[in-house]
A and B are shown apart, each in its own frame.
Chain A
Amino acid sequence: MKKKVVIVDYQLGNLFSVKQALLNVGLDVVISSQADDINDADAVVLPGVGAFADAMSNLAKMGLVDPLKNYIAGGKPFMGICLGLQLLFTNSEEFGDSKGLDIIPGTVKKFKPSPEFPVLKVPQISWNQIGKPEGRSWDDSPLGESKEGEYMYFVHSYYVEPQDHKVALTETTYGDVKYVSSILKKNIFACQFHPEKSAEEGLKIYKRWALNNQLI
């Protein structure tokens, strides 16, 4: 029987491409806003495009904050994409200070121009490179088949800063900010870039993630 992957629909962002990517690697996909579906899932994907505060308020309104936290604490595979990465953090500096799910200690910060890059365009909408943090191997990760320096598609104005750098799986540079562009911590894989929009190299990541977690 095919494993059931639930894409969490909290009414922010486009779920079509994430669904297509998961189907493409041979998974069964359910798009749902129901806590029960999250509880019963073999794997959960949290996508998202838009504002951090709106996302948290939608998750709260739909009663999904605790189900998500419980699901992740249960150790089953979880993938966060873009805003779905940022929401895992303690807080975001967007609109002063917004609280996140607080699963990964750290903050979410905004790109700002600097003396060296006075005209930094925000959002970053671009293909950009992912690299290995010093001493980090990708062998055991969803990037097991990706090359150092591979280009991925990014769309974001904010980036994450984890307290514990050991969770960093990739780093990316924009302007003069070198930031963590994906994390891996036990059952949690989350990335700032959009593998579902990063052509065949992105699909490899979905495939590896599914294989590593024995979903296919």
Chain B
Amino acid sequence: MNVRIIPRLDIKGPNLVKGIHLEGLRVLGKPEAFARYYYENGADELFFQDTVASLYDRNSLHDIITLTAREIFIPLTVGGGLRTIQDIRDVLRAGADKVSINTAAIKNPAFIREAALKFGSSTIVVAIEAIRQQNGEYLAYTDNGREHTGIEVLSWARQVEELGAGEIVITSVDREGTGLGFDVELTRMVAEQVGIPVIAHGGASSPEDIARAVTAGKADAVAVSSILHYDYITHQQHAGNYEKEGNTSFLTSGRGFNKIKPCTLQDIRGKLISEKIPTRSTI
């Protein structure tokens, strides 16, 4: 399967944000602008996550999705706060192609089956937020890694597949936003457990990391945010038209991404191709 590169946009209110371990969010700018830029630079899909939806029990991305879907013709996955069949229907109607569910699936696994039957398996992505325990076991969490569930990740991944999910996005909460690289072991274990595609997420700091998530981690796709966002911001600043609405002082201070090597989608694509990893390329 050709590996997909999926920019992930974490959104809070009207803003694109980025945190570390899914927490401590900083505003980076307007999600529509980032989405457009990634589309024009060859993103395979986009993933929009409402980062505060869980707190309010609702997804508030409808307007952003509709704006984006009117002019961006690649698949859009939307996650965050989707609790009911009606919630899913609403974001699909707003222009999403797929939905990502986590909390609602863990609280009621039958919800996966119901949603898959209603909208087709390929529309239902289940997000698993994994935290490594001291004994080496991985447990699933919800609410950006805050809520402990006690559910073991690998058996949950198998169950999710049986219930009809079309894809799994596996987040290493330990690595997310840190730039320490993907948790390749976690990704590989999940990818080998299931027959559906697995998207690796959390920790990418360079194109090399992404290639490793595919070769050693057996990922079918990668969700990437910091390295692309920071590169985009840097470009915008150099271009002199960056809107100073976000708290970006951490970028110039160097604290924000000392381990993260900002790069473009083309850099990532080039790395995959040079490693002979099958991926969509220009012909």
Contacts and interface: CB of A to CB of B under 8 A. Distances in A.
A147 B281 CA distance: 13
B73 A199 contact: yes
Contact of A121 (B70, B196, B279): B196
B93 A50 contact: no
Interface stretch (B117-125, B131-139, B176-184, B257-265): B117-125
A106 B167 CA distance: 29
B75 interface: yes
Counting contact residues on chain B (CB < 8 A from A), the size range is 20 to 34
A128 B279 CA distance: 8
Contact of B44 (A12, A20, A127, A129): A127
B67 to A, nearest CB: 12
Contacts of A20: 69-70, 73, 95
Nearest to A156: B122
- Indicate the size class of the contact surface on chain A: 35 or more
B256 interface: no
A194 to B, nearest CB: 8
A124 B196 CA distance: 8
Interface string B1-21: 110100000000000000000
Contact of A17 (B42, B44, B69, B166): B69
B50 interface: no
B188 interface: no
Interface in A137-157: 147, 149-151, 153, 155-157
Given A126-B4, A199-B73, A202-B73, A155 B280 contact: no
Interface string A176-210: 00000000000000000010111110110000000
B195 interface: yes
A17 B97 contact: yes
Contact of B197 (A49, A50, A125): A125
Contacts of B280: 127, 151
Nearest to B280: A127
Contacts of A151: 2, 280-281, 283
A123 B196 contact: yes
Contact of B121 (A24, A119, A123, A127): A123
A197 B93 contact: no
A174 B195 CA distance: 15
A16 B122 contact: no
A122 B281 CA distance: 22
B122 A155 contact: yes
Nearest to A20: B70
B209 interface: no
Given A151-B280, A196-B73, A125 B119 contact: no
A129 B280 CA distance: 8
A14 interface: yes
B74 interface: yes
Nearest to B73: A199
Nearest to B120: A50
A121 B220 contact: yes
A16 B68 CA distance: 12
A5 B9 CA distance: 34
A75 interface: no
B277 to A, nearest CB: 13
B69 A16 contact: yes
20 contacts: A12-B120, A14-B92, A16-B94, A20-B95, A49-B119, A49-B123, A50-B120, A119-B195, A123-B121, A124-B1, A151-B2, A153-B44, A155-B75, A174-B1, A197-B73, A197-B74, A198-B73, A199-B42, A199-B74, A203-B73
Given A21-B73, A123-B196, A197-B74, 8 more contacts: A12-B120, A125-B122, A126-B2, A126-B4, A126-B220, A128-B2, A151-B2, A199-B42
Q: Which 3 A-B pairs have the closest CB atoms?
A: A50-B120, A127-B280, A49-B120
Interface of A: 12-14, 16-17, 20-21, 24, 49-51, 119, 121-129, 147, 149-151, 153, 155-157, 174, 194, 196-200, 202-203
